[in-house]
Chains A and B, each alone.
Chain A
Amino acid sequence: MELVIIAAAIMLGLGALGAAVGMGLLGGKLIEATARQPELGPMLQGKMFLLAGLIDAVPIIGVGIAMYLIFVVAPGVGA
């Protein structure tokens, strides 16, 4: 049963890691592009939000599954 907790931890951790790298790249490139061509700012920002939502989905789904594992599949382990 303790392995379920480890699984949830890996799920949360690696998901957050990947999303953080992705978000960092995304935001960095947005600022770079907006600095180069400020008039494209609003259009790029809209696209950035769309992609941010796409990136965000994977770790959030991971959080959901991890929460399910911790509190429903393996309840009471160490709690």
Chain B
Amino acid sequence: MAGGNPASTTEYIQHHLTNLVYGKLPAGYERHTEQGVEVLEADTWTMAHGGQEASDMGFWAIHVDSMIWSIGLGSLFCWMFLRAAKKAHTGVPAGWLNFVEMIVEFIDGAVKDSFHGRNKMVAPLALTIFVWVFLMNLMDLIPVDLIPELLMMAGVPYQKIVPSTDPNITLGMALGVFVLMVYYSFKIKGSGFIKELTMHPFNHWGFIPVNLFMETVGLLAKPFSLGLRLFGNMYAGEMIFILIATMFAAGAGAGFVSGGLHAELFGESTSGYFWLVIFLLVSGICWLNLKEKISTGKTVLLSMAIMAIGGGLFALGGGLMQWGWAVFHILVITLQAFIFMVLTVVYLSMAHEDH
């Protein structure tokens, strides 16, 4: 899809970073379509074509792809675990049930380690957050072009399949955690929470504004860093997958088709020499055929093989790098899901500490 020149590489990256947005365009808005400029006569609710329109839709716009993928994965989690829960028995578990029991016990242990209050909701919440965030992160391991390209053939212009690379999703989850934190702080501590906010570092009434400022900043920083950490990790990971794709996919495709385009990795000239060597090898084989040293069948076979190896080297390079980053990324996605869960539990635990 991406060519070698920077402009289309940038386009490719930006295309991959654009959500499918549904929102309202105001009356009189000029839409740049393939048929020319179209001026809207009334307020229109529609899908945005490109990032510019998406940002012009303002606040009331929905990232349809993020919503569908995240809610879909959440339902998948509920359904899969419900199926296991219905089948649960006291005997030795096997297969899927075994796996689910393992996860539940793991989360149970982690929550028992860091949560010391009494609350029936925290452990299920932790399980949901861990598995849900993990599933959303797991979408990152699906080859970057696969689903967006397939949907493009079906007529969907933009698609971001990893919901956790959308700050709206991660900060939304963090906001949910924040609401729970504040709710339980008030419920458990009552006026003690107010006291904590106003009297905490310096226990004197004259310091109330200073205390309030410091504690509020500390309180707000928690959900903010929680959401931003997950977003940043997944965004950077996705970006690296996309960049590897731009480096190699172009070279490999060109290698099979025309055998003359440059790949970003070796730079224009090196890649040119690479293809020159391939060209010389193929010419040599043809020359041998002219001298009747080898048969025509072998000539065709050898030429095809050399060209395939040339193109394949680029494909292999891209494939290996994608694979290598994906293997490292398995650690990152699991760790980030785990951290999101543990921090949620720790924050809720702090909300339950009554002095």
Contacts and interface: CB of A to CB of B under 8 A. Distances in A.
Contact of B228 (A54, A61, A75): A61
A77 to B, nearest CB: 9
B259 to A, nearest CB: 23
Contact of B264 (A53, A68, A79): A79
Interface size class of A (residues with CB under 8 A): 10 to 19
Contacts of A46: 110
Interface stretch (B234-242, B299-307, B309-317): B234-242
Interface in A11-60: 46, 49-50, 52-54, 56-57, 60
B248 interface: no
A9 interface: no
- Looking at chain A's contact residues, the main secondary structure is helix
B338 A50 contact: yes
B-side binding surface: helix, strand, loop or mixed?
helix
Nearest to B110: A46
Given A49-B335, A67-B240, A71-B243, A57 B233 contact: yes
A4 interface: no
B10 A60 contact: no
Nearest to B232: A61
Contacts of B338: 49-50, 53
A35 B241 CA distance: 39
A63 interface: yes
Nearest to A78: B6
Contacts of B280: none
A26 B240 CA distance: 26
A28 B233 CA distance: 25
Contact of B332 (A56, A61, A64): A56
Given A53-B335, A76-B6, A79-B264, A60 B236 contact: yes
A72 interface: yes
Which of A52, A64, A75 lies at the interface centre, i.e. has the most chain B CB atoms within 10 A of its CB? A64
B236 A56 contact: no
A53 B239 contact: no
Contacts of B335: 49, 52-53, 56
Nearest to B5: A76
B239 A64 contact: yes
Interface in B32-78: none
Interface in B255-290: 264
B321 interface: no
Given A49-B335, A53-B338, A71-B9, A61 B240 contact: no
Select the residue from A46, A71, A72 with max chain B CB neighbours within 10 A: A71
Given A53-B339, A72-B14, A79-B264, A60 B6 contact: no
18 contacts: A49-B335, A50-B339, A52-B335, A53-B335, A53-B336, A53-B339, A56-B332, A57-B229, A60-B236, A61-B228, A61-B232, A64-B233, A64-B236, A67-B240, A71-B13, A72-B14, A75-B7, A75-B9
Interface of B: 6-7, 9-10, 13-14, 17, 110, 228-229, 232-233, 235-237, 239-240, 243, 264, 332, 335-336, 338-339, 342
The 5 A-B pairs with the shortest beta carbon distances in the complex, nearest first, are A61-B232, A64-B236, A76-B6, A75-B10, A53-B335
